[in-house]
Amino acid sequence: MSDSMIVFDNVSKSYQDGIDAISEVNIRIDRGEFVFIIGNSGAGKSTLIKLILKELDPTTGKIYVNGRFLNRLRHSKTPLLRRDIGVVFQDFRLLNDRSVYDNVAFAQKVIEAPTSKIKRRVTAMLALVGLAERYKSYPGELSGGEKQRVAIARALVNNPPILLADEPTGNLDAGNSWEIMKLLEEINKRGTTVIVVTHDREIVNAMKKRVITIHNGKVVSDEEGGYEYEN
């Protein structure tokens, strides 16, 4: 298990209303992998993300993330788990009253990084995502693609071993979507384990990566290649 970044061992999650969000899911994602998780709305993708981030606890089964056994992880230790996972959302979730620089630096402040390190790291991350010149801009002044780049810079600034992107291209046009995917691929090549939750068929097919397909809360396929699952 030493090379495993994320392990779901027979995991099920039922909500209080009795609905099974995911059922007997077995997934193993190794260090440095690039994985797509695909599925229709209501398939259980969001539950999967919440379980990885320990926003939810499984009803049965075991979950390991970067060597941490989440079932027994105390609430006070949850921040340490989340610092191992950079998260990018479809709606960017930037703080609109703060500049690009401050949005990225915010993630460093939160983990109580030394001030001397913050400037260096933030500048490097903004250069990586191609926004070094726009550090003074506010989110309202940026395009969708640029906003998502800021979100990626924020997710990566703490140097997490895992990047979890939830529909990162959902609000972007085709051109920007490709730019973001290339950026994620570049980040993956630098050693970060990248997990992208999406239902963008075109991108998944073109990237030729490992694809885990979820349908009605169950893993129905897990293979290299493209978006093969059909309803």
Partner 1 sequence: MKISSFLYCLKQGFKSLHKHKLFTLASVGTIAACIFLISMFYALMSNFQYIVKQFEDQFCIQVYFDEGISDAEIEAIKEKIGARAEVSDIIYTSAEEAWETFKEQYFTEDNMDLAEGFDDDNPLANSASFSIYLNDINMQDAMVEYLEDIDGVRSVKAAQTAATTMSDFAKLIGYISGVIIIVLYAVSIFLISNTITIAISVRSEEIGIMKLIGASDAFVRTPFVVEGVVIGLVGAAIPLIGIYYIYSKVITYMLSEYQALSTNIQFYSVGEVFKTLIPLGLLVGVGIGFIGSRITLRRHLRV
Catalog residues that contact partner 1 under the rule CB under 8 A.
Answer: 53, 55, 75-76, 79-83, 87, 93, 95, 97, 106-107, 109-112, 114-115, 154, 158
Q: Tell me if 185 sits within 8 A of 34, measured CB to CB.
A: yes
The answer to whether the beta carbons of residues 147 and 180 sit under 8 Å apart is: no
Backbone φ and ψ for 229, nearest 5 degrees, come out as -75, 130
**Residue 176 in contact with residue 151, Cβ under 8 Å?**
no
Q: How far is the CB of 56 from partner 1 (least distance, A)?
A: 10
For residues 38 and 211, give the distance between their C-alpha atoms in angstroms, rounded to a whole number: 7
Closer to partner 1 by CB, 16 or 231: give it: 16
Q: Which is nearer to partner 1, 23 or 158 (CB)?
A: 158
Q: Which is nearer to partner 1, 122 or 211 (CB)?
A: 122
Rounded Cα distance, 145 and 176, in Å: 5
Place of tokens 């490992």: 210
167 vs 179, beta carbon nearer partner 1: 167
DSSP state of 2: T
Q: Contact 85/162 with Cβ under 8 angstroms?
A: yes
Q: How many C-beta neighbours within 10 Å does residue 124 have?
A: 13
Shortest separation between residue 210's beta carbon and partner 1, angstroms: 25
Of 43 and 107, CB closest to partner 1: 107
Closest to partner 1 by CB, 92 or 227: 92
Residue 196, judged by CB atoms within 10 A of its CB (0-12, 13-18, 19+), counts as buried
What is the residue-wise DSSP string for 124-161? Answer: HHHHHTT-GGGTT--GGGS-HHHHHHHHHHHHHTT--S
State the nearest-atom distance from the C-beta of 118 to partner 1, in Å: 10
Kindly tell me which of 194 and 207 has the beta carbon lying closer to partner 1: 194
